[in-house]
Chains A and B, each alone.
Chain A
Amino acid sequence: QKEVEQNSGPLSVPEGAIASLNCTYSDRGSQSFFWYRQYSGKSPELIMFIYSNGDKEDGRFTAQLNKASQYVSLLIRDSQPSDSATYLCAVRGKNAGNMLTFGGGTRLMVKP
């Protein structure tokens, strides 16, 4: 079992819809969770991070964390074609220091 799992997609949503991206992790002691967006040929850029159970909102993005179920999700409201990218979930374990463990990424396609 991979430590951080994501559906590779592609996830296709129409413009204006809500895109829901999910991520599960195996290390129950994980403390910090991050979502990165990566456009083709570019390096990842941070979208959000969350470390407490519940929701965290930033503009059109909402991160949701459920430590009991060991999943973290990212909701993108009013999806735009420019949101089309690969979204990487990353987890920092309890004893990982600075190191992050990345999921394989979910490719999102927003169709006009």
Chain B
Amino acid sequence: GAVVSQHPSRVICKSGTSVKIECRSLDFQATTMFWYRQFPKQSLMLMATSNEGSKATYEQGVEKDKFLINHASLTLSTLTVTSAHPEDSSFYICSARDPRGARDQPQHFGDGTRLSIL
């Protein structure tokens, strides 16, 4: 079963709207979660690392004021796309790693959120 839950799966909204995406770790606590963006026919691009209780770490070229990340609990990280525009339309995916068990536990991905800005 899914170990990372992402919601919503699809959003269609007007330009200028702010959109919040939730990522939850199920059955484990994740001090770190990752947010990716994927444009059609392209690979995953890491946007930011979400750190529980502290500021997120953004990758170069990603606007932190545009993509607000909140990781207020050990099982929930949220990504808010503020004042979204058509160029923000993309597939947003979160991931988290269960820290228990073997040292090489993989990251598990949520099902992704397809964002379409009209």
Alpha-carbon distance A49/B16, docked complex (angstroms) = 41
CB-contacts of B77-118 with A (<8 A): 91, 93, 97, 103-104, 106-112, 114
Contacts of A46 in B (CB 8 A): 106-108
**Mask for A13-54, Cβ within 8 A of B = 1, else 0?**
000000000000000000110101000011111100101000
The verdict on B62 contacting chain A, using a C-beta distance below 8 Å, is: no
Main SS class of interface, A: loop
Contact of A98 among B32, B93, B110, B112 (CB under 8 A): B32
Is residue B60 contacting chain A, with contact meaning CB distance below 8 A?
no
Interface centre among B43, B46, B108, B110 (most CB of A within 10 A): B43
Which bucket holds chain B's interface residue count? Answer: 20 to 34
- In the complex, what's the smallest C-beta–C-beta distance from B117 to chain A, in angstroms? 18
How long is the Cα–Cα vector from A105 to B42 in the complex, in angstroms?
A: 9
* Cβ proximity bits B41-75 to A, threshold 8 Å, 1 near / 0 not: 01110100100000000000000000000000000
Q: Please, which residues of chain A bring their CB within 8 A of the CB of B109?
A: 36, 43-45
Give the docked Cα–Cα distance between A93 and B93 (Å).
Answer: 21
* Given A43-B93, A46-B106, residue A105 in contact with residue B111 (CB < 8 A): no
- The CB with the most chain B CB atoms within 10 A, among A34, A36, A43, A99, is that of A43
Name B113's closest neighbour in chain A (CB-CB): A43
CB of B96, distance to nearest CB on chain A (Å): 8
Q: Are B107 and A100 in contact (CB under 8 A)?
A: yes
Taking CB as reference atom, which chain B residue is nearest A44? B109
The 5 closest A-B pairs by CB, nearest first: A43-B112, A104-B43, A32-B104, A43-B109, A98-B32
